[in-house]
Amino acid sequence: MVTLTRGTYALSGTSLAFKTGTWRVERPVHKHWAAPCHAACPAGEDAQAWIAKVQEKKLQQAWEILVSANPMPAVTGRVCPHPCEQGCNRGSYDQPIAIHNLERFLGDEAIRNNWAYPVPKKAKASAPTVAIVGAGPTGISAAYHCIRLGLKPTIFEALPEAGGLLRSAIPMTRLPRDVLDAELERIFALGIEFKPRHRLGRDINLEELRQDYDAVYLGPGCQRSKEWSVAGAVPGDLADGLHLLKEWVDHGGVPNTKKVVIHGGGNTAMDIARVLKRHGAEEVHLVTASGLPGPDTAPDDILNVVPRELEEGVEEGVIMHPHANLKRLLMRGSKLVGVEMVSLKKLPTASGRKARVSFEGTERVLDADIVIPCIGEAVDPEGMERVLGGSNYFRPDDWGRLSGQDNLLAGGDARGDRGTVSAAVGDGRKAAIALAAKLIDGVEPEGAPRQPIDIASLNLNYFQKGTRAKAPTLPVEERTDHAEIEGSLEWSQVSAEGERCFSCGNCLACDNCWTYCPDNAVLKTADVAVDGSHYVFDYDFCKGCGLCATECPCGYIEMIGEPE
Amino acid sequence: MNAKHADRLAELRAKFDRPPSWKDDPKEDKERQTIRERQPRFRGLEAGHRACQGCGEALAARLVTEAAGPDVILTNATGCLEVFTTPWPQSAWRVPWMHSLFENSAAIASGVEAAMKAQGKSTKVIAMGGDGGTFDIGFQALSGMLERDHDVLYVCYDNEAYMNTGIQRSGSTPHAAMTTTSPPGKERMGKRHLKKDLLSIIAAHHIPYAASASVAYPRDVTRKVRRALSIEGPTFLLIHCPCPLGWGHDGARTIEVARLAVQTGLFPLVELERGAITGVMPIRDQKPITDYLGLQNRFRHLFAKNDHRAEEEREHLQAIADYNIAIYGLAADGDDPLDSEGADTVHRCAIVP
Ligand SMILES: Cc1cc2nc3c(=O)[nH]c(=O)nc-3n(C[C@H](O)[C@H](O)[C@H](O)COP(=O)(O)OP(=O)(O)OC[C@H]3O[C@@H](n4cnc5c(N)ncnc54)[C@H](O)[C@@H]3O)c2cc1C
Ligand SMILES: Cc1ncc(C[n+]2csc(CCOP(=O)(O)OP(=O)(O)O)c2C)c(N)n1
Ligand code: SF4
Ligand code: SF4
Ligand code: SF4
Ligand code: SF4
């Protein structure tokens, strides 16, 4: 035994015998929040998690995390309106992270390198079977997630090829078909049974499917045009926008027109407007009751077009008439010669609900030789009449479960409240999760447990302002029916863009807590700690000062009352 | 590990629960090492010390010893650091450390350095003290050490008052700050005099290197410690260390307070070689001094309503900050990765192989 005498010496590091942790009234704990980009992604992607891997330059791992939610990043990276970027905390600091460009980069890298989709749970021979109607993004996503979760999916598709609107309607200038083919081929190769040319209601029926399979997921999209007229009038040669687009995608033909009025404000409206403009129409007017993004427009009143597409459309010469509606068609016999427009806006009524109010005295006339309705479609009920019960759309719960229908789910555009590829992907994923929970484990599915973190909980002192990466775009005069308009980022841009991410609500492994703790009470580990970080608190010594929580750039440390 | 070492380790473990790792076995006995023993940095100042929650001085001393590494001998003036690290019979230090008196840290260091030299050893000597022990009572010993050209780094932990004895004003206490011996009242708005410009006095000794640093910029602290230790001859480092108890701020905000001292211009970060300014940390976005003052109780009286002196003193401190910025040329022209905004930028560090 060493005997210590007062005034002489003490052995090194012996203060460790004194547990300063007893002074603590609050303790720091790691808290993993949902990053806003994650909370905002309809497909359910955790961009924070995969951007973290981009920062580590582990691109394949980044892609694997990404595709654990969304199997088609090369597609969504091109066409998604990226609500994740609207949610991104970096947007209130300088500019949001270019998430969709990074997503596209990873999707393309996966195709180029033929990275294998991870399948965590191989299906047993006795695995439950799922019939999926429709090979659009929602059906494909459902099938993909069934495979990942150990279910056996079969897709029934009316058309000869898979893809839904991705193939039949979205212009090639936005989604090159070789990219679509490559991504879908890789997904189907995972073992999805695919039955093309099988139309529900014509070649198969729902009752049979429900008997032959343990569950059925309906993802037929919206195939039926809605009735359209203006004050009862309809031109003789009427064709709706989606129909014209599909024909153009199919064989390149478009009606020969000079002055076009498009009625509606969605992607279909903008896409057909641009196609017609490119094919020589002198004037293309887009009349929409919604507003353009800007301070004068309420968020729920902005027209539903991918922001970049709106910009490019205007650049190409599409003339926008926001907050306007058609009041009357000017006809010579059954032939259109013009339209009368009126200004209107969505305003609160006496009951408090918002309704569109037109303003008398704002009527004006536009010359036009064609009017093209783009007002959306409804589910074609054929083969599903009993389930739809006369309504335009399915109304399932968030997991896609239809009330009163055992093991029958629906999602994607057919819900009526979705309308994007990423939402369709998300619906397919949720349906597969709900089915796996029920059919394999006999339990209820679990929802997202984490709260989104807002920018006030981050410590922005540790970041610097920087500019967002910008992808090259084709100049207007070089745009054709086929060449892709938006290009890819270079790896150097991807890497710099990844660096900008705040890592909201999750550990950045920045070492701040480890560096700043005056008490050496934050320990760093080479192994991953149970919470996924590389840091542990040594509560024997942590005095609970809260400094680490203040200085954590990512809001990942929270002070909580000391448990009794 | 030989049998003698193993026995010794077992004995220490039994006695102290978590002894430091045995110095020559970093890899041999992985299994029995605790996570603490496997930290990928040198631990010069161990946990279990008795500093207040959020103590800036404890953090600064930890950073200095980490940067210095194991081959050093420390001397320490009386003060908080000495007291909270060595509650007998324990010590939080893991390098040789010595304390004698309040006023003689530099003198002891001079002797240790001479002894090392006589023995032909290259072990570096670091003398340490608080601002009371450095600006005031230990100043002549320090001046002598510098003048005699000893190969010693002197580190002053500047918490701007005599904290260990209950927050008395020192030569370093800033103008208008409240301490127990400079209370605000009818006669005065806190300390009447100015913070002593110690760095200029030190620089006048014509030593090879003198610098100021702040716990808000740990990488800058590390760099300056290593720089100083790499120089043969007397060097000096003044580290700004907020004291939650003495300054009356929340211990969770120690770094924030320290950072604001730099961002406002009240605590300029500069480097001097042979008396000439050779480096400064530029200020990218100067913050108003009220951002800094408002976080601390010691400046509370400067926000008193219905007292015209409050505004006057705030303006006085703002003028001092502006003066510092002008004198040292701290205004950034363009963004610099090592300026007040850039120097603490974080990135994901690749820990995993
Ligand atoms: C012109 C246009 C542009 C768009 N641009 C974008 C965009 O930029 N970004 C974006 O996110 N979204 C865009 N969208 C919306 C997006 O395409 C849809 O939200 C998405 O495709 C919906 O996927 P889904 O799987 O639900 O339906 P769909 O893609 O419509 O797929 C349904 C599939 O089911 C098949 N099917 C239907 N009925 C049956 C049946 N009875 N039996 C068997 N099979 C059947 C169909 O043939 C089809 O293959 C656009 C839509 C259009 C029309
Ligand atoms: C000669 C002498 N005078 C007074 C004291 C009492 N004393 C001990 S520590 C201390 C204050 C130390 O203040 P500072 O050097 O600023 O260090 P801090 O405690 O603030 O870190 C005083 C006055 C003493 N120990 N010796
Ligand atoms: S799918 Fe869309 S919302 Fe989700 S991360 Fe990708 S771009 Fe963002
Ligand atoms: S900064 Fe990164 S983690 Fe935060 S919301 Fe944006 S992309 Fe997501
Ligand atoms: S900084 Fe250290 S002592 Fe303070 S709360 Fe965090 S771990 Fe505990
Ligand atoms: S301070 Fe940095 S290393 Fe520590 S928990 Fe927060 S993000 Fe992770």
CB distance A15–B51 less than 8 Å? Answer: no
Confidence of residue A6 (pLDDT cuts 50, 70, 90): low
Q: Which two tokens stand for residue B342?
A: 């850039």
Asked if the model's pLDDT at residue B5 lies above 70, the reply is no
Task: Report the percent of chain A where pLDDT is more than 90.
Answer: 91
Rounded to the nearest angstrom, the distance between the alpha carbon of A30 and the centre of ligand 5 is 12
Q: How far is A80 from chain B (nearest CA, A)?
A: 28
Lowest-confidence pick of A48-57, B15-24, B178-187: B15-24
Q: What count of Cα atoms within 13 Å lies in the side-chain half-sphere of residue A97?
A: 31
- By most ligand atoms within 8 Å of CB, the mutation choice from A503, A557, A558, A559 for ligand 6 is A557
CA–CA separation, A407 and A415 (whole Å): 17
Asked if the model's pLDDT at residue A247 lies above 70, the reply is yes
Residue-wise pLDDT tens digits, A404-437 = 999 999 999 999 999 999 999 999 999 999 999 9
Asked if the model's pLDDT at residue A324 lies above 50, the reply is yes
Confidence of residue A296 (pLDDT cuts 50, 70, 90): confident
Asked if the model's pLDDT at residue A86 lies above 90, the reply is yes
CB distance A523–B12 less than 8 Å? Answer: no
Q: Which ipTM was obtained for this model? A: 0.92
Answer whether A462 touches B (CB < 8 Å).
Answer: yes
Q: Which chain A residues have a beta carbon less than 8 Å from that of B36?
A: 520, 523, 538
- By most ligand atoms within 8 Å of CB, the mutation choice from A554, A558, A559 for ligand 6 is A554
In this prediction, residues A181-204 reach a mean pLDDT of 97
Q: What is the pLDDT of residue A241?
A: 96
Q: Is the pTM of this model over 0.90?
A: yes
Nearest CA in chain B to A13: B92
**Burial (0-12, 13-18, 19+ Cβ within 10 Å), A466:** middle
Q: What is the pLDDT of residue B26?
A: 43
Residues 6 or more apart whose CB falls under 8 angstroms from that of B138 comprise B77, B102, B103, B104, B105, B106, B129
Report cis status (omega within 30 of 0) of the bond before B89: yes
Residue-wise pLDDT tens digits, B152-195 = 999 999 999 999 999 999 999 999 999 999 999 999 999 999 99
Contact B258, B241 (CB under 8 A): yes
Answer whether B263 touches A (CB < 8 Å).
Answer: no
**Distances in whole angstroms, Cα of residue A197 to Cα of each of A132, A142, A159, A380:** 14, 19, 5, 16
**Burial (0-12, 13-18, 19+ Cβ within 10 Å), A15:** buried
Which of the ligands is closest to the CA of residue A308? 1
Mean pLDDT, chain B, whole residue set: 93
Asked if the model's pLDDT at residue B16 lies above 60, the reply is no
Nearest CA in chain A to B66: A515
A325: amino acid identity, one letter: N
Asked if the model's pLDDT at residue B34 lies above 50, the reply is yes
In this prediction, residues B226-247 reach a mean pLDDT of 98
Q: What is the pLDDT of residue B9?
A: 64
Residue-wise pLDDT tens digits, A510-536 = 999 999 999 999 999 888 888 889 999
CA–CA separation, B182 and A512 (whole Å): 36
In this prediction, residues A30-50 reach a mean pLDDT of 97
Residues 6 or more apart whose CB falls under 8 angstroms from that of A445 comprise A399, A430, A433, A434, A437, A438
CA–CA separation, A514 and A518 (whole Å): 9
Mean pLDDT, chain A, whole residue set: 95
Mutate to test the interface with A, among B22, B291, B346 (most CBs of A within 10 A): B346
Rounded to the nearest angstrom, the distance between the alpha carbon of A21 and the centre of ligand 5 is 10
What structural domains does chain A harbor?
A: 14-32+506-561 (3.30.70.20), 36-117+458-499 (1.10.1060.10), 129-224+378-441 (3.50.50.60), 234-375 (3.50.50.60)
Is residue A153 classed as helix, strand or coil in its secondary structure?
strand
Which of the ligands is closest to the CA of residue A72? 3
CB distance A510–B19 less than 8 Å? Answer: no
Residues 334-393 of A with CB under 8 A from B: none
Q: Residue A516: which of B85, B255, B352 has the nearest Cβ?
A: B255
Q: What is the pLDDT of residue B187?
A: 94
Sign of CA dihedral B274, B279, B281, B286: positive
Q: What is the pLDDT of residue B159?
A: 98
Q: What is the pLDDT of residue B27?
A: 45
Asked if the model's pLDDT at residue A260 lies above 50, the reply is yes
Residues 6 or more apart whose CB falls under 8 angstroms from that of B200 comprise none
Answer whether A56 touches B (CB < 8 Å).
Answer: yes
Please give the CATH topology (third level) of the domain spanning B19-328.
Rossmann fold (3.40.50)
Q: Which chain A residues have a beta carbon less than 8 Å from that of B46?
A: 12-13, 15-16, 520
**From edge to edge, which strands make up the β-sheet containing A319-321?**
A319-321, A283-287, A259-263, A370-373
Q: What is the pLDDT of residue B295?
A: 98
CA–CA separation, A101 and A92 (whole Å): 19
Residue-wise pLDDT tens digits, A205-215 = 999 999 999 99
Q: Select from A364, A370, A427, A436 the least CA-distant residue to A399.
A: A427
Residue-wise pLDDT tens digits, A440-494 = 999 999 987 799 999 999 999 999 999 999 999 999 999 999 999 999 999 999 9
Asked if the model's pLDDT at residue B30 lies above 60, the reply is no
Residue-wise pLDDT tens digits, A538-550 = 999 999 999 999 9
Name the DSSP letter for residue B339.
S
Nearest CA in chain B to A499: B347
In this prediction, residues A37-57 reach a mean pLDDT of 97
For B43-99, the DSSP string reads -SB-TT--PPTT-HHHHHHHHHHHHH-SSEEEEE-SSHHHHHH--TT---BSS-EEE
CB distance B90–A550 less than 8 Å? Answer: no
Q: What is the pLDDT of residue A249?
A: 96
Residues 513-542 of A with CB under 8 A from B: 515-521, 523-526, 528, 534, 536, 538, 540-541
